[in-house]
Structure 1
Amino acid sequence: MIDKLEMFLAVTKEGHFGRAAASLGITQPTLSAGIKQLEEQLGVLLIFRGSRYGGLTPEGQSALIWARRIVGDTRQLREEMRATRHGLTGRLRIAAIPTALTWAAKLSARFGAAHPNVGFTILSRTSIDILQMIDDLDIDAGISYLDNEPLGKVSTVPLYDERYMLVCGEQTDFAKHASVAWSDLDGQRLCLLTSDMQNRRIINRNLATAGVTPLATVESSSTVVLVAHVVAGGWLTILPEDIANFLAQGKALRVVPMQGEDSTHAVGLVAPWREPHTPVLEALLTEARRMGARRMRMKG
């Protein structure tokens, strides 16, 4: 039945039989037959369908919760048996908000040094996407905000607090400042992350509190694009400290602290709420706790 539940999850994720079949590497008739067999085994209709996917029936909505749980438990069993035989091996799938990608690299580097047989796939996604991908079993963990918007029932490990910085050209007036107030950005030409990013919502709130309407003439989902526009001249951007320093390194740019209330937010590792976790994921959570504790000692 597990393979049929995998098919069911693929269809609910894609909302399309053809795309679901392609994601599983099977033909659409095979997928349709598998879903029909699952419905026959359960004795209920799971999916409304005519010539195309029509959404889940009420019974399908209930089955989706169970399917995620059963498939997740099965994958965990496989991981635990593999760890028993071979130690920690496999691949961890992590999605990180764009401003935390440098921390994703730090975490994977430290973990990989201790567990060289574990590989990583690291994706850049919005905070909302990360939670959905955890629910859909598409990733093993995420790196996202912990204290700004609801997370639901997940396991979390704080890694660091965001501190916001203005990234500007060395020849600008802002480059001479020791710090910049949010109100100082009134009327300035900004390039910022897109509005679906939680970082952008935080920045908008800080600017609004200071009485500033952001003039974002360039928006992007990529922090690299934002800093490239600052390098090209005529723009300013606001980024968390770690990624701001990383992207500005070696360029004719200055990174200047922003000052004012509501300027920091906690960012950390987010994982499915499951006890116990797979051995590999538990080891990742442990490494994240070490990194978070080390960061706190450095701040102290």
Structure 2
Amino acid sequence: MQVDFRLNRQLWMFLAVAEEGHFGRAAERLGMTQPPLSEHIKTLEAALGVTLFDRSRRGTKLTAAGVALLPAARKFMDQVADLERTVREVAAGQSGILNVGAITSAMTDIIPQWMCSLREALPHLTVSIHEIDSVEAAPGLISGALDMAFYRLDGAPGDGLDAFPVTFDKLWVAMPADHPDAGAEQVPLSDIADSPLVMSSRKVSPVYFDSIVSACRLHGLSPRILHEVRSISSQLAYVSCGQGLALVPGSMRRLAPENVRVAPLAEDISIVTTAVAWPANRHAPMTDQAVDVLRSLMSEEYQASEHES
């Protein structure tokens, strides 16, 4: 079906005449002269096959057909206005769908706070969260399947991507509650040198895996890896089942089961637990604004922590 876009303009004119009850005042309101306004109304009447106005020296009144058309015309033009507003919001990045990939730990850490701030800043934006492994982030961003990704990254994000670190943490050790070191304030890596470890899989996040292994070796520990699993919560679950110890970010101790003790290491090993990345050269106002909200949130948290210290 071919759409006559002139109909929109003619309906605006019809509404103006109906509301003003006078062609001259309606023309003035529309910023035009009366003759072309009258011609547009005649064209609309001819297209619809009805007379919309009774014209007389005493004024202009709606006919029965005009009265019947008025509410439908108002509803239609309201919908057109809503459509135009939506298009403007999408173009400005204030409305639409943002597809975000995230590792599990980010979904329980930074993302809930970010989502709250995002809802305040961009209330019409819909955010769709997809659980991913770190190795899936870059391909998803480059292909366009993801607009942003929260994942473990240490170093450059790769060609075509912008990124920055979001959260840092210290490496702690998770052990069964009946482990000999469970009551210690700090656990030296040398104490767990002979213990089997449950590690986050290298297939899931090669950089994260390699950084932990390198840190262990730097402090004289060659890890004995018993299991490689997909997530930190899985590491803690394996420890809970007596399947070894696990090196995890200290902030994740809140996820530990009751029979698991998570204690600081004696060694100071810092890690980037989450970074955020997005396509560098893709025009995406929604993504840019979402990144700005995240930066603002991080700045507020940093200022709060500085004040507390």
TM tier relative to shorter chain:
0.5 to 0.7
What is the match of residue 288 of structure 1?
A: 294
Q: State the distance in 2 between where 1:135 and 1:255 align.
A: 37
Pair 266,292 (structure 1): closer, same or farther in 2 beyond 3 Å: farther
Q: Which residue of 2 aligns with 1:210?
A: 219
* In the alignment, structure 1 residue 201 sits paired with structure 2 residue 210: yes
3-state DSSP class of the match of 2:146?
coil
Equivalence for 1:36: none
SS at 1:171's partner residue? coil
> Distance between the aligned counterparts of 1:261 and 1:245, measured in 2?
17
- Structure number with bigger Rg: 2
Shift of 1:92: 1.6
Q: Is the 8 A contact 1:142 1:270 kept in 2?
A: yes
Structure 2 gap ranges (5+) = 1-85
Residue 172 (structure 1) shift: 1.7
Pairing of 1:99-178 with structure 2 (within 5 A): 99-102=105-108, 103-148=110-155, 150-178=157-185
- Post-superposition Cα deviations, 1:198-236, rounded to whole Å, max 9, x if no partner, equal 322221111221232222212111322221112223421
- The residue aligned with 1:246 is 254
**Offset of residue 184 of structure 1:** 2.8
Change (3 A) 1:260 1:151: farther
Deviations 1:221-253 (A, max 9, x none): 1322221112223421122233x13312x6233
TM-score normalized with structure 2 length? 0.61
Distance 1:131 1:117, change over 3 A: same
Identity of matched residues, %: 19
Give 1:294 shift: 2.7
1:91 alignment partner, SS class:
strand
Q: Verify: 1:237 aligned to 2:246, yes or no.
A: yes
Of residues 102, 114, 119 in structure 2, which corresponds to 1:96?
102
Match of 2:270 in 1: 263
Structure 1 runs of 4+ with >6 Å offset: none
What does the per-residue CA deviation read over 1:75-99, in whole Å, with 9 as the maximum and x for residues that have no partner?
xxxxx93515897332221122344
Q: How far off its partner does 1:140 sit?
A: 0.2
Q: CA deviation at 1:257?
A: 1.8
Normalised TM-score (structure 1): 0.63
CA distance in 1, matches of 2:285, 2:129: 19
Contact kept? 1:269, 1:288, Cα under 8 Å: no
Distance in 2 between residues matched to 1:209 and 1:87, nearest whole Å: 46
Q: Judge which range, 130-139 or 230-239, deviates more.
A: 230-239
Please list every run of 5 or more consecutive structure 1 residues that lacks an aligned counterpart in the other structure.
1-79
